[in-house]
Amino acid sequence: DAAKKLIRLGVDGFRLDVPDLLEDAHTFWQEFRHEMKNEIELLGRNPDELYIVGEMWTLNGINPGFVCPAPDGKPLRFDALMNYPVRENILNFFSGEILNKGADSVCRRGEISAEELDKNIHENLSGVSWGTSQSQFNVFASHDTRRLRTILKDDRKLKAALMMQFTLPGAPVIYYGEELGMQGGADPANRAPMRWDIYENLLSHKQEAEIFNLYKKLID
């Protein structure tokens, strides 16, 4: 009922926090999507524009089952998962840190090879349908991770990572302030307020302006 109320207020999607922890989660979220689509149709809107993303940090076990399509090819539960594995692999390549699986903590110093990066990204794409891969939530920074520029201190590597984010299959997701190259370590530093002072005076922040303009070019 709460979700239906939000639909009536104009919301057209949901990010679901650890949705796999519910009892009989596959059944519940299938019913949830059905109810949301019905509510959207009652409002005269297109139910296919509903977007539901599940917060899951890995693409193994039962997790791909949440993005299995219905027989007609349309999403049955979620449109996508938060694609942290792509972030993990790209940072393992660029940052000099190897991250623990399904976390933003550092396992050890080091890096993966270009061959490993290629293999891991292709495994990620093959873990779900091609349609799902095209709508995956490709997030490189969030309220649960360190900010990208804090990890990639070399702006050349930062820009290379962003080019990959915007050219890989999926929906590139920008956490507020990343477009300004905001810094932020582990929680709560990664949740600091937006740096409007930088945005309103970009001419005085050369490096941040370069990052901002790169985002604009990639979006174009």
The residues annotated as belonging to the active site are: 17, 55
Copy the structure tokens of residue 79: 């449109």
CA–chain centroid gap for 175, Å, is 9
